[in-house]
Structure 1
């Protein structure tokens, strides 16, 4: 079982999200906790007002709504309603929400069985429930205990490509219009926004584009940009937006620019300890005996779980690079890792390797001429210090030559050879 906890500023948004699923026929309200009547005996207004009334006891709490999803293994699709409610009640009790009003919805719009719980973080006496690290502490402990008590499939040990791993969107599944597009984008945002450490919109988009989604502010003279707005779009196979963009405020969790800017600040410290992993992966890939091209470097990093996204201008010149580490869930612009990992430096490191290949046997020279020509063009475009390409190659070749220690030893390092005296002879004879 996998538990995902989110808080929000709008009870209406979270409540309507689930009720709209019910109206669409892909969800059902299967139960409640601490309500005066059973869920099937209440109308929409009664369900919502119970939450709003208790939340109004403390207006100082801005993020007062709580939205939790409990996700089960696909093999557990036949869990009966009664068992799901028992799991929901037990989970809420264990994380400290046993006395809170909550609603339980069973959703049928994903490839795995799951339920959603809607609640509030204001107690009956008006005090606020502290949810700091609740996911790592109370929720994680509750999850493991519930897996054991209810004999559920354990979350640990699942393969990376199983159902909870976010997969790229299939464009065929979302071509039917705005409702399907919004659903698809929501699934991606739910998987990316709370779980990855990104510190800018370009870094976030480096991850979103892997799943055919783009967060866009528009051009600088557009009304969206001037109003600090944000829209989300689906991308086609060429990476171009397709369909009608959807405003950030239209999503139930409101992933607006202001929301993202807060995340940018929060994520700054969280990714610092993980910089070294990406640096080491790049350095190790370029350290081997085999010289790597930029394309080969990208492939090598991909095997380490690191996607490398290149940014090119209209002329095809690479001006930026971003690393997405799926193992640590951290995103780094190249320059954030250090000067040696920027787009220009990475190209230089790969180009220098191409020059080194000239010392190889003649049969390899022909294959390397194209790389050398590209290195020359790149050098001219980037205004390197004035020097001939051949001179640059000669210097590099000299620097890269192995030491011939077996053939030559400096006289300064040689010790004086002591002559062996022969018996009966004088040194002066």
Structure 2
């Protein structure tokens, strides 16, 4: 299962999009509105709790592997669990299911403003947290285990890096270079992160391990 997250400022445009797709279906959430207009009006309730907040709209799409067969009830269960485990346990949210692509998927639109405190849901390391939640959902629901799209991209050398490796390997084979090609910085960084996170530690422990390895977490982008 692959998740893609974005944040924005306006609910109505997003809701209009979610509602307008072919075969779009509202399958879950914790709101009473049944269309984009009603839902947008309802989302204003949370916005009034923190009028100074910016980028209060949280939008995530969850796509299942082609081999996974999920009905509306199961998708609603997965979507509700995902959003709550991402820290939106006191927030307004709604779930739409779409069939307009080859991939079975849902969209979740949520307010980042908590209804109990009026504060924004903390979003640091949200990509890392999302991947952890999705991997656990795959296990619990016996779904196909996949790599996140960003994880695949991060582990793939660029065209320039591939050319450098090929050139250095050729130079090494012909004796023009004393050492074999070095791994890319990205590969070295990824291996360090994989080693530090092998036992799924709490975030402070992971940060501490990376710092011991000479990696400043302020330089990492997720």
Asked if 1:132 corresponds to 2:124, the answer is: yes
Asked if 1:147 corresponds to 2:138, the answer is: yes
Conserved? CA contact 2:112–2:121, under 8 Å: yes
SS class of match (1:58): coil
Q: What is the 5 A alignment of 1:70-219? A: 70-76=62-68, 78-124=69-115, 125-136=117-128, 138-156=129-147
Aligned residue for 1:6?
Answer: 6
TM-score normalised to the size of structure 1? 0.36
Equivalent residue for 2:61, pick from 64, 69, 78: 69
TM-score normalised to the size of structure 2? 0.67
CA RMSD of aligned residues (A): 3.4
Asked if 1:29 corresponds to 2:26, the answer is: yes
Aligned residue for 1:359?
Answer: none
| Partner deviation per Cα, 1:221-252 (whole Å, 9 max, x = no partner) | xxxxxxxxxxxxxxxxxxxxxxxxxxxxxxxx
Larger Rg: 1
SS class of match (1:87): helix
| Partner deviation per Cα, 1:334-373 (whole Å, 9 max, x = no partner) | xxxxxxxxxxxxxxxxxxxxxxxxxxxxxxxxxxxxxxxx
How far 1:102 sits from its partner (Å)?
0.8
SS class of match (1:6): strand
Deviation beyond 3 Å, 4+ runs, structure 1? 276-280
Q: What is the 5 A alignment of 1:210-289? A: 277=161, 280-281=164-165, 283-284=167-168, 287=171, 289=174
SS class of match (1:18): helix
Conserved? CA contact 1:89–1:98, under 8 Å: no
| Unaligned runs of at least 5 residues, structure 2 | 175-186, 189-222
SS class of match (1:63): coil
SS class of match (2:103): coil
| Unaligned runs of at least 5 residues, structure 1 | 157-163, 166-190, 198-273, 290-326, 329-429
